[in-house]
Chains A and B, each alone.
Chain A
Amino acid sequence: MYNFGFEKPGTVADAVAALGAEDAQALGGGQTLIPTLKQRLASPTTLVSLTGIAEMRGVCTGDDGALCVGGATTHATVAAEAGAYPALAATAAHIGDPAVRNRGTIGGSLANNDPSACYPAAALASGATIVTNTREIAADDYFQGMFTTALDEGEIITEVRFPVPEAAHYEKFVQPASRFALVGVFVAKYADGVRVAITGASNDGVFRWSEAEAALSSNFSADALDGLSLPSDDMISDLHGTAAYRAHLCGVMTKRAVAQAS
């Protein structure tokens, strides 16, 4: 780790100001960023901690019924308090281990957009709105490929708004070592249709499986997926699974997610 300065502002405005400094970087739970610093793969001059900002923490229900999660809310808090959206709470409850869940934040996870992370699938499948200090971004516009998002330099995720579906489930097949998602499928059924988002599988990061969405929108049952499959061309191939295996798992996990959606 190289030396860095540290700020812990109490308001979003102060955080934005602090992030204006050259090479300053936001710090959420540090579960991705701190290991990166320890390996000396990044060298920010100042870390601006977001966890002291009260308005960015906690879970509530918005006027439109959406579940609103503050950008600096930990996975453990979401697991415990997002009862209005059980599939989201369950997703958070299975990220990493207790130490990770007690520190890691939803804003950090979505800003990082790891291709194997869980929250991106939840946000995309829910058609969530990513609220930042400057604007609101629809999930469909937000995720732009592995580790790439619509966020600008210094932009902070202050809140994430999840429309609550009629039924949903996240089915995660873990990569055995890291226990991130080797393939994770989030299925959410809304009055106007079903959304299916898949993480862990694609070289392009989290994506929607539109064929499956169409089939499920007319018949929300695992059988509706029979005969559907994804091409393996753009799938990740690594030590833990070939592209063909991941493509296969997408189908299996989607079926299982539908079968368990509630």
Chain B
Amino acid sequence: MPKDSGIGASTKRREDMRFLTGAGNYTDDINLAGQAYVHFLRSDVAHGTLKNVDTSAAAAMPGVVRIFTSSDFDGVGGIPCGWQVTSKDGNVMQEPTHPILATGKVRHVGEMIAAVVADTPEQARDAAEAIVLDIDELPAMVDMKAALADGATKVHDDLNDNLCYDWGFVEENREAVDKAMSEAAHVTSLELVNNRLVANPMEPRVAVGDYARHSDESTLYTTSQNPHVIRLLMGAFVLGIPEHKLRVVAPDVGGGFGTKIFHYAEEAFCTFAAKACNRPVKWTSSRSEAFISDAHGRDHVTKIELALDADNNFTALRCLTHANMGAYLSTFAPSVPTWLHGTLLAGNYRTPLIYTNVKAVFTNTVPVDAYRGAGRPEATFQLERVIDKAARELGVDPVDLRRQNFIREFPYATPVAVEYDTGDYDATMDKMLELADRDGFDARRKASEAKGKLRGFGVNCFIEACGIAPSNLVGQLGARAGLYESATVRVNATGGLVVMTGSHSHGQGHETTFPQVVAEMIGIDADQVEIVHGDTARTPMGMGTYGSRSIAVGGSAMVRATEKIINKTKKIAAHLLEAAEADIELKDGAFSVAGTDKSVTWGEVTLAAYVPHNYPLEDIEPGLEETAFYDPSNFTYPAGAYACEVEVDPDTGTVTIERFVSADDFGNVINPMIVEGQVHGGIAQGIGQALLENCSYDENGQLLSASYMDYTMPRADNLPHMEHYTVDHSCQTPCTHNPLGVKGCGEAGAIGSPPTVINAIIDALQSGGHKVDHIDMPATPDRVWAAMQ
């Protein structure tokens, strides 16, 4: 009989009943008595000196409670950055102040200049239109290389220039890499762009600030992946509110993909204004605002070179990248192109020497930060594209070239500072080739050609570092936070459990998967376990959900806390059964004495803990509640092999994805159905990046793709039919250093798929005799057609 509960069961998502029947409680569903609404007046120029903000007419408009400008925030801290990167010359990065409302200058279209709080949203908006701005426009820095040119207009006048940092990694390897390049039998080089993206979660950002005058307590309801991080950053660095006077609640969150990790000025504003106005203050982002105020993703411009010896072994890799930071440093922005990118450049391969240089650049654009995969998709894209190009230049099979260079011994210490614990890259490659029916490809290509279409087969391998992250390590690398996770397991008297976790689902299904683990450990039904998350008043200090870390780090904390519970219940059971603790076994929700038929049920033991009439009070306390904090000793390293088959219409350049196969190694899997959903969604986003999505600015810093009329989100008909959209996770090399042996699956699809798609397009074009060796993403029909001309 298939298992329907516990680890390995494809239990249906219990949260879906709520979401699908309209019973979800999202931040915008929160409406507080007496609430006022804020409308932010945002800059419509990319760069300019703010000479005057005249609010006098607006202040007299109906319903206006108060209008805020930057001077209302004198003495309030700026929005902090959570990661400090050090340049190769030993200097720390240049870190501009990031005010809540524009001060002195505006630096990107969408930056908030003034905020109108009024009785209704319409009144706030009407009054905002009556604010008169006097802005002297300055040249907008949009292109990164232009922003670094001598004499370029500075985005931040008080910094030396527009270079945030100039990072070299591993700097000690630089000369050896240069030498290996010059001595190589073959060097393949490639210049490419990793296109800028807008995350576009279905739920836009919302913030509701509340203040209780009697207790001096502030509450922020917000669309966040990590409410404790927001409480820490906003309380300690921006508003100066101690944690016991500040509660942050993130109720149901409708998607985030990274963009809801960060602390945003709107959150600080609503919290601040609620106190200043002594009224709850609410902000709901419109979709148009989201395009110009949610942190964007990616935006790297890279030159990558791969050196090979005469036998096609990889000997060195060199990568020079410009990474766009936008106008300000968003919370984790500096870490994305550095430690989440440079450390991944070994990929699945034994390349002995690797050097990467990353120049992070300030421009007059929306800040850029982590987006599903964060740094790892950028690393994978360039590495796998240059390997594919090398295979084509050398006339060898792209699969064989990859295989020849695979890492096969674990643990494996890469030259880029990380140690892979486990993996089996041949296994995922074999699985992928089998599922993709590569042997049948030639026949399918012929069938396409008979219809006048070109057909291509692309492969790709990837490795990612998930389960973020060992705190002591990231501390050395510049993180200003620890990256452990927490859980409190509370057992009720009659045996039901509540797990209060620092992880916070924004669509991943934690309310389903987390109970499966606890249920398995105790041997009870998963229905007995409830999850509480997303509220700093109800959960222990936790770091939240991103970096595919929830089950690997949050799940591990929950396992540790549950183990403490089990240890204590065994003591109680031993007492009740008058047996030695060492002889007590917990199985299927009952404690028994080994070798006897004596047993007590889970419920009898938990009741004894709360009704301790017959209880070892001299040895243990009553009650059953345990907390654990888990700090991982290493990252986890999910890996996989992907294949994509495309058809290209040579007359129009249209690319259609005919087949897609992923063979992933996520270690152990808790809920296969949820894992498959995560991978399907991740691949859809990766296909979005590869074929459709592009955040495009004009030379004046105006966002051209500022709505769904111009920003192309992937839709169902952009993806292959389900029978040719195969996601497999049967290759499993369990993680060796966390208790569940899990690696994390949330980002894999978005990391592994973009190069697979582009490799397939190049294969198709070359099969048609077109001498095209690269095409930048998104490979839209006009770009593909232009490349063929």
Chain A contacts to B: CB under 8 angstroms: 1, 39-40, 173, 176-178, 239-242, 244-245, 248-249, 252
Contact = CB atoms under 8 A, between A and B. Distances in A.
B708 A239 contact: no
Most buried by B among A176, A239, A242: A176
A252 B710 CA distance: 23
Which 7 residue pairs are nearest across A and B when measured between Cβ atoms? A177-B712, A241-B782, A245-B782, A178-B709, A176-B712, A252-B651, A177-B710
B656 interface: no
A4 B653 CA distance: 46
A173 B708 contact: no
Contacts of A239: 694, 696, 704-705, 710
A149 B713 CA distance: 33
B508 interface: no
B782 A240 contact: yes
B197 interface: no
25 contacts: A40-B125, A173-B652, A176-B692, A176-B780, A177-B705, A177-B708, A177-B711, A177-B712, A177-B713, A178-B708, A178-B709, A239-B694, A239-B696, A239-B704, A239-B710, A240-B710, A240-B780, A241-B781, A241-B782, A242-B782, A245-B781, A245-B782, A245-B785, A252-B651, A252-B652
Nearest to A245: B782
A169 to B, nearest CB: 16
B786 A245 contact: yes
A178 B782 contact: no
Nearest to B715: A179
Contacts of B122: 1
A70 B206 CA distance: 44
Contacts of B652: 173, 249, 252
Contacts of A245: 653, 781-782, 785-786
Contacts of B692: 176-177
Interface in B675-712: 692, 694, 696, 704-705, 708-712
Contacts of B713: 177
Q: Which secondary structure characterizes the binding site on chain A?
A: loop
B717 to A, nearest CB: 10
A4 to B, nearest CB: 13
Most buried by B among A39, A239, A244, A248: A239
A178 B710 contact: yes
A173 B129 CA distance: 39
Contacts of A248: 785
Interface of B: 122, 125, 129, 288, 651-653, 692, 694, 696, 704-705, 708-713, 780-782, 785-786
Contacts of A177: 692, 705, 708-713
A32 to B, nearest CB: 11
Nearest to A242: B782
B44 to A, nearest CB: 13
B587 to A, nearest CB: 54
Contacts of B710: 177-178, 239-240
Contacts of B712: 176-177
A108 B705 CA distance: 26
Contacts of A1: 122
A9 to B, nearest CB: 28
Nearest to A252: B651
A252 B708 CA distance: 27
Contacts of A173: 652, 781
B512 to A, nearest CB: 32
Contacts of B711: 177
Contacts of A252: 651-652
Nearest to A176: B712
B775 to A, nearest CB: 14
Contacts of B705: 177, 239
Contacts of B785: 245, 248
Nearest to B649: A252
Contacts of B780: 176, 240
B424 to A, nearest CB: 39
Nearest to A249: B652
Given A40-B129, A240-B710, 16 more contacts: A40-B125, A173-B781, A176-B692, A176-B780, A176-B781, A177-B692, A177-B705, A177-B709, A177-B711, A178-B710, A239-B704, A239-B710, A242-B786, A244-B786, A245-B781, A252-B652
A239 to B, nearest CB: 6
A178 B705 CA distance: 11
Nearest to B718: A176
B213 to A, nearest CB: 35
Nearest to A97: B715
A244 B710 CA distance: 20
A173 B780 CA distance: 13
Nearest to B711: A177
Contacts of A244: 786
Nearest to B713: A177
B704 to A, nearest CB: 6
A245 B122 CA distance: 43
Nearest to B785: A245
A241 B129 CA distance: 35
B261 to A, nearest CB: 26
B125 to A, nearest CB: 8
B578 to A, nearest CB: 70
A240 B784 CA distance: 12
A72 B709 CA distance: 25
A144 B652 CA distance: 29
A20 B91 CA distance: 70
Nearest to B705: A239
A39 B44 CA distance: 14
A39 B706 CA distance: 13
B204 to A, nearest CB: 15
Nearest to A2: B126
Most buried by B among A40, A177, A240, A248: A177
Nearest to B704: A239
B211 to A, nearest CB: 31
Contacts of A249: 652
A173 B692 CA distance: 15
Most buried by A among B122, B652, B694: B652
Contacts of B786: 242, 244-245
A41 to B, nearest CB: 12
Nearest to A246: B782
A173 B694 CA distance: 19
Nearest to B698: A239
Contacts of B704: 239
A248 B650 CA distance: 12
A224 B519 CA distance: 72
A1 B126 CA distance: 10
A199 B771 CA distance: 33
A178 B707 CA distance: 9
A40 B780 CA distance: 32
Contacts of A178: 708-710
Nearest to B129: A40
A173 B652 CA distance: 9
Contacts of A39: 288
A95 to B, nearest CB: 15
Contacts of A40: 125, 129
A179 to B, nearest CB: 9
A241 B783 CA distance: 8
Contacts of A241: 781-782
A178 B708 CA distance: 7
Nearest to B696: A239
A22 to B, nearest CB: 21
A40 B39 CA distance: 14
Contacts of B288: 39
